[in-house]
Copies of this chain bind each other. A is one copy, B any other.
Amino acid sequence: MEPLQWWGSVALTALELLATAAFALSGIIEAARKRMDVVGVCVVAFLTAFGGGTLRDLLLDQRPFFWVREQYALAGVFLLCLAALLFMRRRHVAITERMIEWPDAIGLGLFCASGVHQAHLLGMPPMVSIMMGVVTAVFGGVLRDMICNEIPATLRNHRPYAVCAFAGTLAYLLLAALEAPAWVAMSACVAVATTLRALAMLRHWSLPAWKI
């Protein structure tokens, strides 16, 4: 492998681990809010970090799951849970929540790019590819809220989150239709989704309220 390529792949893996950790931490915090025990913290963290990608692989019938191929991610989330149980105190929660906003936005972009790319490679029609991108990015959080007995926040807080993933998948499909190489289309998807999410956070954008 060329040195540049090697550095690129190291950077990508580092970003992916960071994003997975951010997703897992948001699960840990939610489990802490519900006063769950060690089992609950681990289950919710795993579900949040791997739920979206697993649902995508299940729907697209792709095996082995990515967490079977990349076991270090499983081990990493497990260690993160143990660390949180040992060291996390109430006063850390708000700080952690603010700190994970940015890696979470990166995760939104990466996860949605991986979903739309995988569906597109399998020859899925555009509407299905879009759906797979969005599902990969948001269903970890949806499953987290469902197991914590809440209406999923992303379905009703009027903050752009799934919508950013949606825009990212459109960018991917547009570039793929123009026969751009895969890495260009995926980078554009990540850039669009993450930038929109970052702008939405910085400018406090909100989705139009429904007149009902």
Chain A interface residues toward B at CB < 8 A: 31-32, 34-41, 43-44, 46, 54, 58-59, 61, 63, 65, 67-68, 71, 74-75, 78, 85, 88-90, 93, 124-125, 127-128, 131, 138, 142, 146-152, 154-158, 161-163, 207-212
Contacts and interface: CB of A to CB of B under 8 A. Distances in A.
Contact of A37 (B32, B39, B59, B207): B207
A152 B131 CA distance: 25
Contacts of A155: 31, 36-37, 39-40, 43-44, 147
Contacts of A149: 146, 149-151
A142 to B, nearest CB: 7
B156 A40 contact: yes
A125 B68 contact: yes
